[in-house]
Structure 1
Amino acid sequence: MANEEHLAILRQGVEVWNEWRDKNRYITVDLSMANLQKKDLRKFNFKGTNLKQANLHGVTLWDADLSEANLRDSNLSMAGLMGANFSKADLRRANLSATNLDSANFSNADLCLTNLSNANLSQANFSKADLSGVILNNTKLKGVILSEETIIAEKWRMVCNLIHGNIATQNLCNADLSEVDLGEIDFSGVNLSGTIFIKSNLSQANLARANLTRANLREADLSEADLSEADLSFANLDEADLSEADLSFANLQQASLINANLVQSNLAESDLSNTDLRGITFSEFDFLYSEFSDDFVESLTYEDIQDINKSTAILTNAVLSNANLSNVSLCGLDLSGVNLSGANLSGANLTECKLSYSNLTKASLENANLKNVQALETDFTSANFTGVCIQDWQINSNTNLNNVICDYIYLRQGQQERRPSSGNFAPGEFTQLFQKSLETVDLIFRNGIDWDAFAYSFKKVEVENQGAQLDVQSIEKKGDGIILVRVAIAPNADKPKIHNDFMQGYEFAAKTLEGQYQGRLEDKDKIINQLFSTINLQNKLLAQTGDKVSIYYQPNSQFAGGIVDAKTVDAQQIGGNIQNNNTEDFPS
């Protein structure tokens, strides 16, 4: 137990304490089992002090002298120990987890079985220290100093060498590097086949062209890591964080990425064939569709969608053939041109996905959600569509639905509007019903539509493109003033030309009409101003004469408006022509 007299002196502050220690150098100070948690003990002299089993959780001991101190079984977790002197101290079984030991001195100290997990040991000196059995999981070891006499497990000596850049001399194949902090380390081109990185920190590490075949990276942090051209075939990446990682041109054949995070990762040109991707997160869309209602998601503005799209993984020209994506959310992903042949997409959520030019031959899409999917020129040959929702999907005449297997589909999500309403499609019936025979041109108007300009341009394009078979197929309001007009055209029509001709004609007509509208408004303003001027003048006359008057304004009339004397009317007072058509009452 702690000596109460010693504790009383300690409470008087650093100056009193250190002065007392200087005058009583031969007294054995006893603070064992003392509760000093979260105390500010900076620069205190604890040399040779008995702090066995003391509670020092969260204390500040910057630049304190703890040399030769007895800290066995003490709790120093989350303490600030920067620059502290622990030389020759006894720290056996002490808890130093999550502590900041930057530049601390542990030379000749005994740290047998000490817990240093999640601690910061940057620039700490462990020369000749005993680190046998020490726990260093997820500890920052950058710049840590070891000597040949330092006693430490081979794994951790290897890690320190890696951090110091001595990679070429290490044999890392099948090595156990689990729960190690290797962030920002350069492993480019290194053979890491079979290496165990379970729960390790490899964020921002350079693993470009590294051989990681059959490596175990389960729950590893690979965020922002460079894995371009890396060989990850047969690797275990279950629950790994690969957000913002560069996996372009990487080989991920037959790898397992169950529940992995790939938000904002770059998978362009990567090979994910036969990969298990169940539960994977590619985009922030996944969170939206899992946590919020369809009404909320549909209320998002165009700008909201664009911001979310920035979070999606890049899969340009990736190979996902035979990949297992069952029940995976791929909402909003751009999968244009991706090879998904033979992929298992049963139950997958592909809402808002871009699948144009992609290969989904023989893909399994049972019960998948294809709402608002863009599938222009997509190859669905022999794919299984049973139970698929195709609400508002976009296909064209080059979308291949040959030999599609389909018993029934839904026209609205939530298994609504089943087709056929009862029974199943006959073989080939789905393809016959849904294969497009006409192309479509999408005309997007962001600030409403001037229908007069639309009619002018439509007729002009129709006349100039005989045989195009133009027909307005649908008009959709997309929110924020955006209107989509879908125009059907013949398959052999020049789609880009028609689109450009129409938009140019529309803009020309809209500007011309706008000038006419403005001219009409200006003429109207002139007439109104003239009217008010006339009224004001006549009101003055009225005030002078006191006679009854008739005041009116009648545009396009045969009679000009004005003021007429109520007692006598002279034809000269009336503008325009006066014609008497009743000859019986007024003989000549």
Structure 2
Amino acid sequence: MLNQEQLSKLKAGAEEWNQWRLRTDDAHISLQNADLNGIHLENVNLSNVDLRQADFRGANLEGANLTEANLNRACFNGANLSNAVLEQAPIHEAEFIGSRLDKAIFCNSYLVKADFSNASLRGADFSQASLQRSIFSNADLHHSCFKEADLIYSQMRSASLVDANLQGANLQGANLSETDCDGANFSWSILKDANLTRATLLGANFTEANFTGACLQDWHVNNSTNVERTCAAYFYTESSLDPETGEATYSERRPYDGTFGPDEFSVLLQKSFDTVDLIFKDGIDWQAFFETFQQLNMQYQENKISIQTIECKGRNFVIKIKADADSERKGAIAASAKEIYIQNTKRLEAQIENYEKLIEAEKQEKSALMRFMETMAEKQSSKYDLRGANVGSLVDTAQSGSRVQAILHNYAPEKRESLATAANEIQELLDQLSKSYPGTEVPMQAVAQIQANPKMMERIVGALRGGGKAAIEELVDHPALSIVLAAIEGASNPT
């Protein structure tokens, strides 16, 4: 039962509450079902307090002491519990969705079916905690510790476990699909029936881990991944989701029948490291990669580097490079490739940014010139008959005696129509693409769509011929225009 008097004291603030606890026998403090939504209780002492089903949504409990507090079914969604201590606490079915729990301590706590979806748990310590069927989907678990924790059937899909410590953890049936586990320690862990589909495990340590029945579909490992003395009676290479239950089912068993003998699984994994796997998440800058590959060839000539395969796995690209080298040398090649690629992407991005600035400056200059000409036209009448003509610039005598050079582009009516149509199509296409793609991708997308539309391509090529390019450049206002026109001209004149 909720004790209203105790609740009032807690709402008075952490300092007053902590002093009251020092003076009072706190054998039984009941705040069950308490509404503490948004409360600020930094460094509060709530150890041994009954907080079942309490509502701490959006609360600030940074540095709080919740040791042995009863937190079953309590709600901490969006709360701040950074550096909080929740050791040896029953936290069954509690919710921490979107909460901040960096460096929080949950050692030896009972967290069955607790929900940490989208939570920040950097450096959190779950050593020897019971986390069966707990949920960590999309959680940030960098440098977290799950040493000897029970994570049976836990859901960790798309979580970040970079440099996490899961030594001796029981991950039987756990869903680790699409997780980022680079540098994580899984030594002596149990991964029976675990789902590692599309997990990234570069540099991870699986020494003496058990993979029996696990699904390893499209997992990303390389020669820096430690698989010494790993074991598995069998494993799977395909998984699919059951539309009714949402659970994964595995297929494509290896071996097809029977089981692996001693060390056979470990040897099989070692053979998969014959290539250097370069993994590019969320797309790849092809120009930067090809320059990187050329530089690698120069740097490692004696290793005869060649591209074996290029694979697209979801949003990721995996480029397998074959090299005549031992595992240590392959690791050096992979590290160099990553470093050179990052340098090249930064350099190319800087070039594109500079180019866009030049285009913007040119646009501003043209705009200023047009405003100047309009002002001059308003101040005096031109001595030229401009009816029916497209004006690029004007020649007239200014009041100051300066001379403004003018160029008149006169076209036959049918030519004017084709130019206007082509210019309008290009303008609409570029404006539309600018809403969906970053500026650097607009030219490529525009050229691809024009080439995919033969009639549109024919109209634009026809308009460009016979001096129409200059008119289109004046009619269309977009920084990507010059690149698009150059590409179209090149495509229509391949020789």
For normalisation by structure 1, the TM-score amounts to 0.52
Letter in 2 for 1:498: A
C-alpha separation in 2, matches of 1:181 and 1:320: 31
CA distance in 2 between counterparts of 1:263 and 1:445 reads: 22
- Provide the secondary structure at the position in 2 that maps to 1:389: coil
Aligned-residue offset at 1:431: 0.8
Q: CA–CA distance in 1 between the matches of 2:341 and 2:75?
A: 51
1:527-566 equivalences in 2 (<5 Å): none
Deviation at 1:370, TM superposition (A): 0.7
> What pairs with 1:227-246 in structure 2 (closer than 5 Å)?
227-246=81-100
Q: How many pairs align?
A: 341
Counterpart CA distance in 2 for 1:221 and 1:408 is: 41
Deviations 1:87-125 (A, max 9, x none): xxxxxxxxxxxxxxxxxxxxxxxxxxxxxxxxxxxxxxx
SS in 2 for 1:169: helix
Alpha-carbon shift at residue 390 of structure 1 (Å):
0.7
Could you tell me which residue of structure 2 aligns to residue 272 of structure 1?
126
SS of the residue corresponding to residue 434 of structure 1 reads helix
SS in 2 for 1:412: strand
Q: Tell which structure's C-alpha radius of gyration is larger.
A: 1
Q: Distance in 2 between matches of 1:374 and 1:444?
A: 10
Structure 2 residue matching 1:417: 3-state secondary structure: strand
Deviations 1:401-433 (A, max 9, x none): 111121111121233221111111111111111
Counterpart residue number, 1:224: 78
Q: Distance in 2 between matches of 1:353 and 1:487?
A: 23
Matches within 5 A, 1:424-439: 424-435=259-270, 436-439=273-276
Whole-angstrom CA distance in 1 between matches of 2:5 and 2:269: 65
Partner of 2:255: 420
User: Are 2:164 and 1:164 aligned?
Assistant: no
- Describe how 1:138-177 pairs up with structure 2 within 5 A: 155-165=3-13, 166-167=16-17, 168-170=19-21, 171=24, 172=26, 174-177=28-31
1:474 aligns with 2:309: yes
Task: Determine the C-alpha separation between the residues in 2 that align with 1:464 and 1:270.
Answer: 41
| Aligned counterparts of 2:78 and 2:142: Cα–Cα separation in 1 | 19
Deviation at 1:346, TM superposition (A): 0.5
| Alpha-carbon distance, 1:497 to partner | 3.2
- The answer for the alignment partner of 2:334 in structure 1 is 495
> Is 1:321 aligned to 2:151, yes or no?
no
State the match for 1:212 in structure 2: 66
- CA contact 1:218–1:236 (8 Å) conserved in 2: yes
CA offset digits 1:132-155 (Å, max 9, x no partner): xxx8x6xxxxxxxxxxxxxxxxx2
Supply the distance in 2 between the matched residues of 1:213 and 1:256 (Cα, whole angstroms): 12
Alpha-carbon distance in 2 for matches of 1:325, 1:204: 27
SS of the equivalent of 2:20 reads: coil
Query: Given residue 221 of structure 1, which amino acid in structure 2 is its aligned partner?
Result: C
2:173 corresponds, among 330, 336, 347, to 347
Conservation of the 8 A alpha-carbon contact between 1:441 and 1:488 = no
Amino acid of the structure 2 residue aligned with 1:424: T
Q: Distance in 1 between matches of 2:313 and 2:48?
A: 51
Residue from 108, 114, 120 that aligns with 1:254: 108
| Counterparts of 1:432 and 1:484, CA distance in 2 | 22
AA matched with 2:20? T
CA distance in 2, matches of 1:447, 1:375: 19
Task: Report the secondary structure of 1:339's partner residue.
Answer: coil
Deviations 1:236-257 (A, max 9, x none): 1111111222222221101111
User: Identical aligned pairs, as a percentage?
Assistant: 30
User: Letter of the aligned partner of 1:219 in structure 2?
Assistant: R
CA distance in 2, matches of 1:313, 1:443: 21
**1:259 CA displacement:** 1.3
Unaligned runs of 5+ in 1: 1-134, 138-154, 284-311, 531-554, 556-588
Deviation of 1:234 after TM superposition, in Å, equals: 0.8
* Residues 13-55 of structure 1: per-residue CA shift (max 9 Å, x gap): xxxxxxxxxxxxxxxxxxxxxxxxxxxxxxxxxxxxxxxxxxx
User: What does residue range 59-458 of structure 1 map to in structure 2 within 5 Å?
Assistant: 155-165=3-13, 166-167=16-17, 168-170=19-21, 171=24, 172=26, 174-283=28-137, 312-413=138-239, 414-435=249-270, 436-442=273-279, 446=283, 458=293
Question: For residue 368 of structure 2, what is the aligned residue in structure 1?
Answer: none
Task: Please give the per-residue CA displacement for 1:517-571, whole angstroms capped at 9, x wherever unaligned.
Answer: 9xxx9xxx79x958xxxxxxxxxxxxxxxxxxxxxxxx9xxxxxxxxxxxxxxxx
Residue 210 (structure 1) shift:
2.4
Q: Which has the higher contact order (CA 8 A, sep 6+)?
A: 2
Q: Does the 8 Å CA contact 1:445/1:484 hold for their aligned counterparts?
A: no
CA contact (8 A) 2:236 2:253 kept: yes
Instruction: Provide the C-alpha distance between the structure 2 equivalents of 1:457 and 1:186, rounded to a whole number of angstroms.
Output: 52
Q: Distance in 1 between matches of 2:274 and 2:87?
A: 42
Alignment CA distance shift 1:373-1:215 (3 Å): same
Structure 2: which 5+ runs fail to align? 240-248, 353-442, 448-456, 467-492
Q: Residues 277 and 319 of structure 2 are in contact (CA less than 8 Å); yes or no, is this contact kept in structure 1? A: no
State the 1:188 CA deviation.
2.8
Report if aligned partners of 1:173, 1:191 keep a CA contact under 8 Å in 2.
Answer: no
User: What is the CA–CA distance in structure 2 between the aligned matches of 1:175 and 1:445, rounded to whole Å?
Assistant: 51
Quote how far apart the aligned CAs of 1:233 are: 0.8
Offset at residue 282 of structure 1 (A): 1.8
- How much has 1:484 moved relative to structure 2? 4.4
CA-CA distance at 1:394 after TM superposition: 0.9
Q: Distance in 2 between matches of 1:423 and 1:362?
A: 24
Asked whether the 8 Å contact 2:167–2:186 carries over to 1, the reply is yes
Q: Contact 2:293–2:337 (CA<8 Å) still a contact in 1?
A: no
Name the amino acid aligned to 1:409. F
Change (3 A) 1:241 1:271: same
Query: Which whole-Å deviations, capped at 9, do the CAs of 1:493-537 have from their partners, x for residues lacking one?
Result: 4434335657888999xx9xx9xx9xxx9xxx79x958xxxxxxx
Return the letter of the residue paired with 2:305: L
Q: Distance in 2 between matches of 1:500 and 1:161?
A: 57
Judging changes above 3 Å, is the alpha-carbon distance between structure 1 residues 343 and 495 closer, same or farther for their aligned structure 2 residues?
A: same
Report the Cα distance in structure 1 between the residues aligned to 2:291 and 2:30, rounded to whole angstroms.
73
Contact conserved, 1:174 with 1:193, CA < 8 A, in 2? no
Letter in 1 for 2:142: T
Equivalents in 2 of 1:445, 1:201: separation in Å?
38
C-alpha deviation, 1:472, in angstroms: 1.8
- Opposite residue 329 of structure 1, the aligned amino acid is Q
**Helix, strand or coil at the partner of 2:278:** strand
Letter in 2 for 1:185: I
Kindly state the Cα deviation for residue 348 of structure 1 after the two structures are TM-superposed. 0.9
The CA RMSD over aligned residues, in Å, is: 3.6
Correspondence for 1:15: none
| AA partner of residue 214 (structure 1) | E
**Would you say the 8 A contact 2:191–2:214 is kept in 1?**
yes
Distance 1:201 1:372 in 2: 37
Distance 2:11 2:342 in 1: 60
1:380/1:162 CA distance change after superposition, 3 Å:
same
Does the CA contact (< 8 Å) of 1:442 and 1:487 recur in 2? no
From the two aligned structures, give the one with the greater helix fraction.
Answer: 2
